[in-house]
Amino acid sequence: MVTVARIWLIVRRLPILVLAVAVLAVAGSSAFHSPAFAQEEESRGWSLRDLLFPRRSERIEPPVEIQKARPKPKKKPKPRPPAEPETPIVEKTPDARVVLVVGDFLAGGLAEGLDDAFADNPAVRIVVRSNGSSGFVRDDFYNWPVEIKSLIETEKPSVVVVMLGSNDRQQMRVGDVREQPRSETWTKEYERRADALGKAIQDAKVPFLWVGMPAFRVAKMTSDMLAFNDIYHSAAQSHGGEFVDVWDGFVDENGAFVTSGPDINGQPVRLRSDDGINVTKAGKRKLAFYTEKPLAKILGLAAPGSVTTVSAPAGAPVEASKPQQPLSLSTVHRRCCSATPRSTAVRNCWGPPHPPRPIRTCRAKS
């Protein structure tokens, strides 16, 4: 049973509760008369619970401040290097003279350069029959003195261009013995195989050019290539061919290997790849630059782009006049080092146009 004291307490608190309800009613009515709630107010009624605990959909969230995104500064476009002029593709004539390029992976690059050099000449067609991993050492893998005969019979070239040797710094089987590179026995057998290739081309009665090896980044490899070039020079000379020395195009004025150097127009370009072995597109074109002039002479062209040839039946080789034998860099070095005191040997370097450089001299033995 409710006591008198409890009833009196409720009566005392009643005015406060009434006042609180009135305040809430006024606040709620003002909120529900906003435009956002006009349609809901007509569709349904409201209660004291709605005033004290509004539904989630009825809560008004404070507006979020929208920050305007700052425009990102535009990066200035990097200037593009000027595009290389495209070589016009000229359709070759049916009786175009065939230049057969054989050898290893460097011969493949040389063929690309020659193809560019004679691209606008309809009377000359470059045919490449290289084997990238071949050489003279592994004749069990590919025997060039034997294979060249069938290649000449098939392609009927007017001239053959040879370039190989970069894969030959390895042991060679001579009889039952594996000989070390550049040992006495190894060298004699290597000379015999190179000579056999020159003789096979001579027997086919086709003029040929033998393009020497360039320098490489590894010093020992460069030294071996100098020795190989002497062998190639001798094989070409012995069998009526012409040796093309490209050495100066890929070294500096001191004879050291260079990755970059002047192109055929004298502009500085990258000639070799990062491995110091392969050549870039500009390097391939530079290899061809050394070869195209003696090649044009054999073909009877006034210039690489000329279409005038000497009179000869289609597919028949053009007999070239006996060329003056070039002097290889290694031969100069050998003569220099065996010179008498105070004497010197010098060499004028033929190559792409570039600023004049001092004539190299060799220090004679004392």
Q: What would the pLDDT profile of 90-116 be if each residue is shown by its tens digit?
A: 899 999 999 999 999 999 999 999 999
Domain boundaries, the chain: 97-323
**Looking at residue 74, what is its pLDDT?**
72
Q: Does 318 have pLDDT greater than 70?
A: no
**Looking at residue 85, what is its pLDDT?**
61
Please say whether the beta carbons of 190 and 222 come within 8 A: no
Q: Which residues, other chains included, contact 301 with Cβ-Cβ below 8 Å and sequence gap of 6+? A: 121, 124, 307, 308, 309
Select the more confidently predicted residue: 77 or 37. 77
Q: Which residues, other chains included, contact 113 with Cβ-Cβ below 8 Å and sequence gap of 6+? A: 284, 285, 286, 287, 288, 289, 291
Select the more confidently predicted residue: 3 or 300. 300
Please say whether the beta carbons of 96 and 156 come within 8 A: no
- Digit-coded pLDDT (tens) for 207-225: 999 999 999 999 999 999 9
**Looking at residue 357, what is its pLDDT?**
40
In CATH terms, the fold of domain 97-323 is Rossmann fold (3.40.50)
To the nearest 10°, report the CA torsion of 303, 308, 310, 315.
Answer: 100
Measured CA to CA, the distance from residue 73 to residue 107 in angstroms comes to 50
- Residues facing residue 172 across a β-bridge: 179
At 310, the pLDDT band (50, 70, 90 cuts) reads: very low
Angle, helix 219-238 to helix 184-203, in steps of 10 degrees: 40
Number of residues written out for the chain: 366
